[in-house]
A and B are shown apart, each in its own frame.
Chain A
């Protein structure tokens, strides 16, 4: 699985990349509207479809969690749009014995809109693609997100990203990024760069 690192902020390419990303926002917004008055009829127009999908994912994560992963079910039941996932560093890796927490936030545009995923809590993994504020540079969390992916797929990607790490260190632009970024990592224009970490 290719991993990516954030090298720099893009500051002058709004026009160039507006096509895809802009359109993404558009259709996602349209999807979220639910369009209750459309003549397609009630049959297909289910405003709670995203909730059903999340419940399905929650069940699946409970029944077949990736190794070292547990989801906080009570929390997810209290608020379906915000999950906390506990993750253990895999045996035989640099993170063996460490415990981490991931926070997932979902919008009603899910799964067309990717979830917002960050590390939270005391222990943020020290990794070249993970900023000290918990933001993760992973392309499937933004540009390469596909609605066919899932919480499970994201967890697997993050486990694999941690497991393949050869040296524990922060991204080179950590201090600048953490000072200037938005609280929501999806508001960052990530600059993905294929890396062999």
Chain B
């Protein structure tokens, strides 16, 4: 053979080492990414001016001109942690904040929450685990009835022990609504799954991102109007917005960027 290749000079990147447990490496890397996200973002952050969004996109002509169109209508933004629960944390924060300023809505919500428990049992959620999440939610709402202030909402929504309980309960409410209306929602579910399978895989586990279907179900179940402003690379200068449910006046405004939701405040 004339063709002498010197093995020492061959590039050695991306070599597969059978002695290393690849799964553990991947898990470790995932953990590191998660720790970084956790360290850098509060579950629900502090109130920022919309100018912080402008700064974020100062080098991006498309986003930056779109952010400008938000300016007359919206004044502030509150960022949420991008951990797959952002929609739910944003929703419940904005809603509870609305409720402390609109006591009649808080009363209505409390009544709804009370009755929702039985509905979840009917769908077949295990009683004692469901009760745990329900009771925590009731505690939070009762507490806000008494001493409701924005500081309290901030504290509750940023305490992992409490916030995660609220998120789980919202997930159960979404799942119950989808399953109760399975005939209708089955047309929108991809991958040949039943509505129940979809709920078990995409709704009930923590950290699964909320999609259109989740939002339709949650807003219909709780009876709360949400307007989502879509900030993406779609055509035109104006942001596309969508109201959930379509016929309801929105009381919560969320900013959507691909894969993530933050809270918006009207000017």
Residues of A within 8 A of B (CB): 2, 9-11, 13-14, 17-27, 29-35, 38-41, 43-46, 49, 53, 56-57, 60, 111-112, 139-140, 143-150, 152-153, 180-182, 187-189
Contact = CB atoms under 8 A, between A and B. Distances in A.
Nearest to A112: B164
B129 interface: yes
Contact of A189 (B16, B27, B132, B151): B27
A10 B129 contact: no
A148 B130 contact: yes
Which of A2, A22, A41, A53 is most buried by chain B, counting CB atoms within 10 A of its CB?
A: A22
B125 interface: yes
Interface in B201-225: 201, 204-209
11 contacts: A10-B26, A24-B206, A27-B43, A27-B207, A29-B35, A30-B43, A57-B128, A112-B164, A148-B172, A149-B129, A189-B23
A22 B31 contact: yes
Contacts of A11: 16, 22, 26
Given A21-B30, A56-B128, A148-B168, A27 B23 contact: no
Nearest to A34: B161
A107 B83 CA distance: 20
Given A21-B34, A45-B162, 7 more contacts: A14-B30, A18-B34, A22-B30, A40-B152, A49-B161, A139-B201, A146-B205
B37 A22 contact: yes
Given A44-B140, A147-B133, A26 B197 contact: no
B148 to A, nearest CB: 13
Given A18-B30, A49-B161, A112-B206, A144 B128 contact: no
Query: 10 tightest A-B contacts by CB?
Result: A26-B34, A23-B83, A22-B34, A146-B204, A40-B155, A26-B38, A30-B160, A22-B30, A31-B160, A22-B33
Nearest to B18: A180
B153 to A, nearest CB: 10
Contact of A181 (B21, B35, B200): B21
Interface residues of B, number: 57
Most chain A CB neighbours (cut-off 10 Å) among B29, B83, B139: B83
Interface string B1-29: 00000000000000010000111111101
A181 B23 contact: yes
Contact of B158 (A38, A144, A150): A38
B26 A46 contact: no
Contacts of B151: 39
A25 B33 CA distance: 9
Interface of B: 16, 21-27, 29-35, 37-38, 43, 81-85, 125-126, 128-130, 132-133, 136, 139-140, 143, 151-152, 155-156, 158-162, 164, 168, 171-172, 197, 200-201, 204-209, 259
Q: Do most interface residues of chain B lie in helix, strand or loop, or is the interface mixed?
A: helix
Given A148-B130, A153-B126, A29 B38 contact: yes
Nearest to A19: B84
A187 to B, nearest CB: 5
A144 B34 contact: no
B199 to A, nearest CB: 9
Given A20-B208, A26-B37, A14 B26 contact: yes
A42 to B, nearest CB: 11
Contacts of A140: 200
A18 B83 CA distance: 10
Contacts of A149: 126, 129
